[in-house]
Amino acid sequence: GMPVEQNPPALSLYEGADSGLRCNFSTTMKSVQWFQQNHRGRLITLFYLAQGTKENGRLKSTFNSKERYSTLHIKDAQLEDSGTYFCAAEAGGNNKLTFGQGTVLSVIP
Amino acid sequence: AQTIHQWPVAEIKAVGSPLSLGCTIKGKSSPNLYWYWQATGGTLQQLFYSITVGQVESVVQLNLSASRPKDDQFILSTEKLLLSHSGFYLCAWGLGGRSAETLYFGSGTRLTVL
């Protein structure tokens, strides 16, 4: 299967709602990053995790290397959260990132 | 503060013509540098990375080549474009070392090959 499987492919949320995205890995990964891509294509790094959980405002991400998954949780969704979210993982110290297929998030007023 | 600049913003080129895309990073010495390609509506695919001047590792070639002529510059090029080269090209820099840790992306170049 795909080395990085991201779900769901698309997600619609009403403003104020909470939801989560998930990436499953076919092999043990050393680290994971989460990115948001806006409608112009600009990619912003949200999180880098080598383990555990990080929070930043309304966003929280968890990475469990042993169980081979990572999650991104969005709380109190806002219109500006709309965009495409990607996870990307690195299997070893080889400078190679493998991206998930992305989740297109639409926040509805 | 570090800045990353990609050029051009967009290109429309004919099949078989040459291509050169550039990326410059200011405010960070010896960064790791990366090129990514994104098909329309698709995910990102890593093409090349470089840890130091004059050194480039290929991940997926796609009939493209990359060079790092200076510490702060990364160039993506080909002598003959294919239709399949169309897409969005992103340059990124990382903190350095052997890991692709915390990447910062440029604003990208949108390439259309006709």
Note the pLDDT of residue B96. 64
pLDDT surpasses 90 at B98: no
Q: What are the beta bridge partners of residue A60?
A: A55, A73
C-alpha neighbours within 13 Å on the C-beta side of residue B113: 18
- Count the domains in chain B: 1
Note the pLDDT of residue B8. 97
Which of A31, A33, A95 is opposite residue B49, by nearest beta carbon? A95
Which residue, B62, B58, B2, B67, is CA-closest to B28?
B2
The distance of Cα B52 from the centroid of its chain, to the nearest Å, equals 15
CATH topology of domain A4-108: Immunoglobulin-like (2.60.40)
Between chains, do A45 and B103 touch, taking CB under 8 Å as contact?
yes
Between chains, do B32 and A93 touch, taking CB under 8 Å as contact?
no
CATH number for the domain spanning B88: value is 2.60.40.10
Q: What is the pLDDT of residues A10-67, one digit of tens each?
A: 999 999 999 999 999 999 999 999 999 998 889 999 999 999 999 999 999 999 999 9
* Domain residue ranges of chain A, discontinuous segments joined by +: 4-108
List Cβ neighbours of A46 (8 Å cut-off, separation of 6 or more): A33, A34, A35, A36, A56, A59, A61, A72, A85
Contact in structure between A13 and A4 (CB atoms under 8 Å): no
What is the domain range of residue B91? 3-113
d(CA B38, CA B111): 10
Chain A residue at shortest CA distance from B33: A95
Confidence of residue B95 (pLDDT cuts 50, 70, 90): confident
**For residue B108, which residues of chain A lie inside 8 Å, CB to CB?**
41-42
